Structure 1
């Protein structure tokens, strides 16, 4: 990883930490991680893309080495952070690839800043039909806080043993960044979990750029149902959906080869 560039930049009023792989003279792709992950959780994907793209892997606010959530935490604020990063680095029409929370950030950024983006790719974003009461459920927040608190009480070796035991088919490159991200993340992001939800149709009705939605199997815990995946295509003028069977919410970790094939096929069309 010594060839990767690491930096902290001021954007949208906070310090955002990021890694950069590849040269900025190439087309740029920004990888947006999910809740409680970090930029380095994209390491395996970045290795596959860095020959053809400048790959930017930021830590979202409250995650990794970026500033915390004292000034707010929502889809809109996270999207503003990404826009600020794009502008601060003077990136020309980057592509966004987001997982889960990062997917919702990408969707929101495509609505708020369409002029800044070339396309977005979404790995099982949280486009779920929930009532406002369900989205802001205190019980969900409490459950997440307990889960993360328990993880933070473990040693790194214990964290690695747990993630390997629970996800034995993941590529080896995934385990270390996953464990390190859990140590670094601010518990406050889980306390704000309800805030980041937004009625997804409000977003999708305003998407104009090319979109790839990558989905997995509901029985394995994905957020996006087949019905929702079918419905979103009515909203996206240049939208595609790829289903990767046998995968759950962490699609790229469950089936890295098929995930990367879908990503690179789409990138070839839009780059």
Structure 2
């Protein structure tokens, strides 16, 4: 892992925690990177390493997660988008490249729409394109369908950090060499409380509100209304390392991607997690953000 610094910025209701991996050059571009629905800022550790000082990477713990868990509601994708705008403003003048993974990609798209002129090109990582919610499902059924085991984890307790590590090591997405020191640090940042009843630091009410919010029309339509260019880096495999990922060419066509200002890049042999945490996926994301940072 490479070193980072922690800082906080004022947002509605308190302060948003963020991590910064500084560039080696003061004039290097700035990338603002957003994590997924039950993740935290350290999910971007591999991308930060592979950027190799060519850009400053700033990643917040979104409202209701990790070091930003104390921030109160209202939650929702729009609230995150406004928090991200506040963070971008605190970083100083000039547009930043905005990147997001999973739910973070939807936040990035909505932030670009709500705050035009603040952000440069976007990089969406296995997220940003969605589909209308099935009308026959309740809110809880919808959440189970979307994030399933991740939601169940929020109600579980763990005897110690080793038990939490064992829980994640058993996840099929992190089998074999997919488990790295960066993944370990990302997972452990989520854990809070005291032994023998430690638990995820994600606030369930935040996750529930955000999960349902992914199906709101203004969120689903944001990627079709982007004021800037974007790249979608998508994983071949799914959340549980299954063969079918969240996207494929036919799903993207059904979601209207070919008619948008979004270029799609497929990454083979990675899943929804390792497209961000593994070297193959993180390398493609790092290349995408560096391309986005080049003035056109």
Call closer, same or farther: CA 1:135–1:90 in 2, change over 3 Å: farther
Would you say 1:146 and 2:160 are equivalent positions? no
Partner of 1:250: 273
Moved more, 164-173 or 213-222: 213-222
Deviation string, structure 1 residues 189-248 (Cα, Å, up to 9, x no partner): 233221343346521221131211011236545323422434313121xx2111112222
Call closer, same or farther: CA 1:146–1:67 in 2, change over 3 Å: closer
Q: Distance in 1 between the 2:125 and 2:257 partners? A: 14
Partner of 2:6: 6
Structure 1 residue 132, shift from structure 2 partner: 6.4
Would you say 1:215 and 2:234 are equivalent positions? yes
Partner of 1:137: 139
Contact 1:12 1:84 in 2 (8 A): no
Contact 1:220 1:246 in 2 (8 A): no
Moved more, 159-168 or 72-81: 159-168
Structure 1 residue 267, shift from structure 2 partner: 2.1
Call closer, same or farther: CA 1:135–1:190 in 2, change over 3 Å: farther
Call closer, same or farther: CA 1:131–1:82 in 2, change over 3 Å: same
Please provide the CA RMSD for this pair.
2.6
Call closer, same or farther: CA 1:253–1:111 in 2, change over 3 Å: closer
Contact 2:130 2:215 in 1 (8 A): no
Partner of 2:287: 264
Call closer, same or farther: CA 1:94–1:246 in 2, change over 3 Å: same
SS at match of 1:97: strand
Q: Distance in 2 between the 1:203 and 1:101 partners? A: 13
* TM-score, length of structure 2 as denominator length: 0.80
SS at match of 2:15: strand
Partner of 1:226: 249
Structure 1 residue 73, shift from structure 2 partner: 1.3
SS at match of 1:65: helix
Unpaired runs of at least 5, structure 2? 192-199
Q: Distance in 2 between the 1:2 and 1:264 partners? A: 18
Unpaired runs of at least 5, structure 1? none
* TM-score, length of structure 1 as denominator length: 0.86
Q: Distance in 1 between the 2:138 and 2:71 partners? A: 17
> Equivalent of 1:63, from 47, 62, 65?
65
SS at match of 1:213: strand
SS at match of 1:233: helix
The structure richer in helix per residue is 1
Q: How many residues align structurally?
A: 268
Structure number with greater CO (CA < 8 Å, separation at least 6) is: 2
Q: Distance in 1 between the 2:93 and 2:160 partners? A: 39
Call closer, same or farther: CA 1:210–1:2 in 2, change over 3 Å: closer
